[in-house]
Amino acid sequence: LMDEVMQLVLAAHQHAPEDLDIKVLMGVLYNVSSDFESAGALLSEAVHSRGEQVDFNLLNKLGATLANSGKGAQALPIYKQALEKRPNYARGWLNLGISLANLNRYQDAAKAYVQALHLNPRARHIWGYLRVVLTCLEELDLVELCGKEDISSVAPRLSLKLDSRGQQPIPDSSLLTIL
């Protein structure tokens, strides 16, 4: 099926070679096929062509492609740009955390994961990512707190502010200064 989809998209690209949406789709398909070089080239072209009008989702796709290709350090400014455009983008915070963790920046990764959890508390799988980086930091008491899945007990220990109800960390785009 993937080959058939790619053939259709390539045919569409031949018909409309300047169509940025087709280039983005091709980039996503190349990413899924692990052809990160082709994916990165197409997504970069789309990002640069859209200039200031580029949306956070496209930036996140490019960041993920760079990270998947082992270029996590190059992905960080792309994620920063995406999160500046949409600070409440939970997937962007998660992807940022993954890249930071892969660069052994565990403290920063933990903060990014808490932001993602704040923005999407139903994404319980993120607790696993948080436990891993806290283990790397040898913060075993925090790892244990993660088992309770209570963000209000973990956030202050990572120097993240809580809102007036004491329930959720305040979305903090100033965390982007870690980049």
Question: Alpha carbon of 132 to those of 48, 68, 151: distances in Å?
Answer: 35, 19, 16
Q: What is the pLDDT of residue 171?
A: 53
CB 135 within 8 A of CB 45: no
CB 82 within 8 A of CB 96: no
Q: What is the pLDDT of residue 176?
A: 66
Q: What is the pLDDT of residue 165?
A: 45
In the predicted structure, residue 84 carries a pLDDT above the cut 60: yes
In the predicted structure, residue 179 carries a pLDDT above the cut 70: no
Q: Residue 15: pLDDT band by 50, 70, 90 thresholds?
A: confident
Residue 22 makes CB contacts below 8 A (sequence gap 6+) with 9, 12, 13, 16
Q: Residue 167: pLDDT band by 50, 70, 90 thresholds?
A: very low
In the predicted structure, residue 67 carries a pLDDT above the cut 50: yes
Structure token pair of residue 2: 């993937």
Q: What is the pLDDT of residue 166?
A: 41
Per this entry, what is the length of the chain?
A: 179
